[in-house]
Amino acid sequence: MWLYALAALAALFLLRRWYRERQTVPGLPEKFVLITGCDSGFGNLLARQLDARGLRVLAACQSEEGAERLRAAASPRLQTLLLDVTSSPSIAAAAAWVKERVGDRGLWGLVNNAGTGTPSAPNEWLSKEDFLKVINVNLIGLIEVTLSVLPLVRRARGRVVNVASVMGRVSFFGGGYCISKFGVEAFSDSLRLEMRNFGVKVSIIEPGYFQTNITNGENIQKHFLAVWEKLPEEIKADYGEGYLKHFLESFRTMKDVCSPNLALVTGCMEHALTSRYPRCRYAAGWDAKLLYIPLSYAPTALSDRLFAKHQPLPARRA
């Protein structure tokens, strides 16, 4: 009897959630959305996706070539700007540009999508500067962009969508990437609580492995080898050539484990921007839903044992 009652309650809960999440906000064609990192990948696809839906897209690109390609693929409504998220003057200029265009209506949506993943290597191989190259883009840049346009988002009672990662839940490789994504999670959580009474909703996107520039095996391999070449000979000897070759081989096969369906991620972003009841977190991809997110709740001993199986043995152990 109790089992049937619980099943009925669960069904009602899921039905209510399904109904609520399919309600969209009114007046989408009048709403402005700023997206960072639109040269390629998630940002580029989302910009075209929202443009096709009639929203007023302000697409921030890192290069003029990327901006030109995006304009050629979109409607005249879409506007582009150049933005370096590691440069305070560039961010300030972009915020002024956005304010001029949105006027009193404010900015409905900010999607912090710009990101980088290299250099990535065992922590001992990296310098402080190597960590900062990633953290300055993925975390500090994200924070500064958000703060620069937050008054405009508050005016519109709009949305902030921050792209984190499943690597912001579990961390099993070195460098600044996982650190920065853990930071994105923390910043987003505190911002969501602070903005709640202003009517602003903050969502986190947690993608699994997808085929983007960040997961480009050749690019990762190039940066990995550059880090290896700078190491002292003593450290190279301790880790050994076999350690290096293990990672280089994994980079060559990375494409095989990354999903090409970027729409799984941009669909989550679009829902966060257009639904009347967006989620606080979106896990995108089956690997995120069935492996990494569950592992983030598992005992540390269990997740460590699983990830340790994929770590090569060094040449010398103390």
CATH number at residue 206: 3.40.50.720
Q: Please report whether residue 239 resides in a domain.
A: no
pLDDT of residue 34: 98
Please give the distance of CA 285 from its chain centroid, rounded to a whole number: 13
Q: Please report whether residue 84 resides in a domain.
A: yes
pLDDT of residue 126: 97
Q: Please report whether residue 241 resides in a domain.
A: no
Residue 184 contacts residue 164 (beta carbons within 8 Å): yes
Q: Please report whether residue 170 resides in a domain.
A: yes
Q: Give how many domains the chain has, as a whole number.
A: 1
For the question of residue 243 being annotated catalytic, the response is: no
Residue 280 contacts residue 21 (beta carbons within 8 Å): no
pLDDT of residue 318: 62
Neighbours of 196 (CB within 10 A): 11
Q: Report the distance separating Cα 31 and Cα 157, nearest Å.
A: 11
pLDDT of residue 317: 74
Choose among 96, 95, 197, 90: nearest CA to 137. Answer: 90
Give the list of residues 6+ apart from residue 84 with CB closer than 8 angstroms, or none. Answer: 62, 90, 91
pLDDT of residue 226: 95
What predicted TM-score, i.e. pTM, was given to this entire model? 0.93
Q: Please report whether residue 249 resides in a domain.
A: no
Choose among 187, 210, 201: nearest CA to 266. Answer: 210
Q: Please report whether residue 275 resides in a domain.
A: yes
Q: Report the distance separating Cα 106 and Cα 234, nearest Å.
A: 57
Residue pLDDT tens, the chain, 318 long: 777 778 777 777 777 777 777 789 999 999 999 999 999 999 999 999 999 999 999 999 999 999 999 999 999 999 999 999 999 999 999 999 999 999 999 999 999 999 999 999 999 999 999 999 999 999 999 999 999 999 999 999 999 999 999 999 999 999 999 999 999 999 999 999 999 999 999 999 999 999 999 989 899 999 999 999 999 999 999 999 999 999 999 988 888 889 999 999 999 999 999 999 999 999 999 999 999 999 999 999 999 999 998 888 898 876
Q: Please report whether residue 315 resides in a domain.
A: no
Q: Which of 4, 177, 282, 297 is catalytic?
A: 177
Q: Which residues form the domain of 276?
A: 25-212+260-305
pLDDT of residue 315: 86
Q: Report the distance separating Cα 23 and Cα 17, nearest Å.
A: 10
Q: Please report whether residue 222 resides in a domain.
A: no
